[in-house]
Structures are given as structure tokens and as C-alpha cells.
């Protein structure tokens, strides 16, 4: 029912960003509340800038131990909380976006489907490619501790980006002519790429802006109504450059780059 669930997210985290996008797309903003954590993730992990509304907690680890007092595992976002049963429903973004996609349709009257049955095999295939080489690939580059590991991740990443760019030369979206879950899972990495991953994670062979098809595709998704408002470049740059002290000991946050995401994407005029 409306108001039963509460979502804890980071505006910096690509995995959490997906859940915010689906909350908007599926008309759940009036039914599922949101707490946004601070972009700074230091010795205490994810923190809230002010006490969250359910329990007055200021640390995400308190949410986890409230659900399970002996919990000692990783504390991550997003987290979907069930107020009726006073526990965590899920902390896995792929599960949460599937729930948002279909479980609340009768409540909202929104029956849009980003995981349609006839496209599921294709969506799952793209999800595997995108997750392994792109979503996780940028992290494999950024946190590699050997030159060989970095170069392997780097080559995998750009081979996958080249593959997607070529595919988009003949297809409007990953699975054809409609936006699906696979597109949104890719989007949250692409939108961070030029601002963070190129420099901070050493993913500097090319920017997304240098790809003729990926850049237009990124702009089109960014310009979907309500999606732009879920994207916060202050949180994104602040989190990565300030929190990853091992990669950026001075914690200096770059002023740039200037991103051109609001201009015409020209995907409507492309011949597919």
C-alpha cells in the first residue's frame, strides 16, 4: 500500500541512481519516500546529512543493524525498507527496479513495462555485457592494483563501449525501438563517465562525448522527463573525488568538465 516502503539512496552511486529513475518512471514518488545519503563516504561509511525520517538515524549501518542486530556485512545503498514489517526488503538495485517495474502497477495505475516478456532474453543478454565490462568495468579500472589488471579491464571496457556504439548506429535503443531496463542500467554509468571515470578511474581512451552514437543516446535518455532531476553532478563528483582518498589523497574536486547533455540529441533524425 502507499507509504509502506522507504528508499535509501545515494545520488552519487550508479546502482542507487537506477532505483530513483524507476521510482520516477513508474509514478511512485507519492508512494515511496526517499532518504538521500551524504556524498561523502569516509570511515563511518554512508552517512545522512540530517537524521532520516523513520528512526532518526544518521548512519546507514544503523539501518542494517536495526533490521538485523548481529549484522556485520557490507553496508551499501540502495536499500528498500518495509515499514510494515520493519525490515529491509532488498539492497540489490536489480531486484528493486524489477519490483518498481511491476509490483505497484495497480496502486499507481502506471503499467509501463521496462522488462517486457518478449524482450527479456535480449535485455538479459545486454545486462550481462553492460554489467561485466562497463558498469563494473570502470571500477575494475579504477581500483586495479596491477598494470596487467588495469589494462585488461581498460581493454574490456572500451571494446564493450565500441560494441554498444556500433549497435546504436542501427538501433534506437539496446533492444530496438523502445527504452528498456537495459538502457537505464547502462545510462547511470554513461552519465558519470566523462565527469568522473575518464580522469578519476583512468578510463581515458575516449570520452562518451567522442562517440557519435553513444553521446546522442546518452543525451536522449538524460532528457527523458524527470530523469534529468535524478542526476546530481555535485554529489557524483564530490563522492568519487572526496571519498576515494587512496586514489585522490588531496581530496580536490575538479570544477570541470563542461557537459553538453541538454542540446539536441538528434536521435529522432537518425535512420535505423
Which residues form the catalytic set?
Answer: 13, 139
Q: Would you say 1 is a known binding-site residue? A: no
Q: Would you say 181 is a known binding-site residue? A: no
| Grid cell of 245 as nine digits | 582518498
Q: Would you say 184 is a known binding-site residue? A: no
Helix/strand/coil (H, E, C) string of 49-79? CCCCCCCCCCEHHHHHHHHCCCCCCCCCCCE
Q: Is the separation of the CB atoms in 84 and 4 below 8 Å?
A: yes
Q: Would you say 37 is a known binding-site residue? A: no
Q: Would you say 220 is a known binding-site residue? A: no
Q: Would you say 75 is a known binding-site residue? A: yes
Q: Would you say 164 is a known binding-site residue? A: no
d(CA 271, CA 174): 15
Helix/strand/coil (H, E, C) string of the chain? CCCCEEEEECCCCHHHHHHHHHHHHCCCCCCEEEEECCCCEECCEEECCCCCCCCCCCEHHHHHHHHCCCCCCCCCCCEEEECCCCEEEECCHHHHHHHHHHCCHHHHCCCCCCCCHHHHHHHHHHHHHHHHHHHCHHHHHHCCCCHHHHHHHHHHHHHHHHHHHHHHCCCCECCECCCCHHHHHHHHHHHHHHHHHHHHCCCCCCCHHHCHHHHHHHHHHHCCCCCHHHCCHHHHHHHHHHHCCCCCCCCCCCCCCCCCCCCCCCHHHCCC
32-36 and 5-9: which strand pairing? parallel
Residue list for the binding site for glutathione: 46, 74-77, 92-93
Residue positions forming the annotated binding site: 46, 74-77, 92-93
Amino acid at each position: 500500500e502507499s507509504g509502506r516502503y522507504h528508499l535509501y539512496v545515494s545520488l552519487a552511486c550508479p546502482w542507487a541512481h537506477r532505483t530513483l529513475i524507476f521510482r520516477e518512471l513508474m509514478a511512485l514518488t507519492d508512494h515511496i519516500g526517499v532518504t538521500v545519503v551524504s556524498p561523502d563516504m569516509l570511515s563511518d561509511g554512508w552517512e545522512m546529512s540530517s537524521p532520516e525520517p523513520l528512526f532518526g538515524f544518521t548512519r546507514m549501518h544503523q539501518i542494517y543493524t536495526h533490521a538485523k542486530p548481529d549484522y556485520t556485512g557490507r553496508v551499501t545503498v540502495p536499500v528498500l525498507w518495509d515499514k510494515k514489517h520493519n525490515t529491509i526488503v532488498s539492497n540489490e538495485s536489480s531486484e528493486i527496479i524489477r519490483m518498481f517495474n511491476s509490483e505497484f502497477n495497480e496502486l499507481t495505475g502506471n503499467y509501463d513495462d521496462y522488462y517486457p516478456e518478449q524482450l527479456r532474453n535480449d535485455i538479459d543478454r545486454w545486462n550481462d555485457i553492460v554489467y561485466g565490462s562497463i558498469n563494473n568495468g570502470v571500477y575494475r579500472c579504477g581500483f586495479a592494483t596491477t598494470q596487467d589488471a588495469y589494462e585488461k579491464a581498460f581493454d574490456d571496457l572500451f571494446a564493450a563501449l565500441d560494441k554498444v556504439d556500433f549497435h546504436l548506429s542501427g538501433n534506437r535503443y539496446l533492444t530496438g525501438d523502445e527504452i528498456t531496463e537495459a538502457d537505464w542500467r547502462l545510462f547511470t554509468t554513461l552519465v558519470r563517465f566523462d565527469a568522473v571515470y575518464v580522469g578519476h578511474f583512468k578510463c581515458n581512451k575516449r570520452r562518451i562525448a567522442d562517440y557519435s552514437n553513444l553521446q546522442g543516446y546518452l543525451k536522449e535518455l538524460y532528457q527523458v522527463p524527470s530523469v534529468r532531476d535524478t542526476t546530481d553532478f555535485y554529489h557524483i563528483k564530490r563522492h568519487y573525488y572526496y571519498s576515494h582518498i587512496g586514489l585522490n589523497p588531496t581530496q580536490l574536486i575538479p570544477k570541470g568538465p563542461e557537459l553538453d547533455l541538454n542540446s539536441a540529441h538528434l536521435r529522432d533524425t537518425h535512420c535505423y
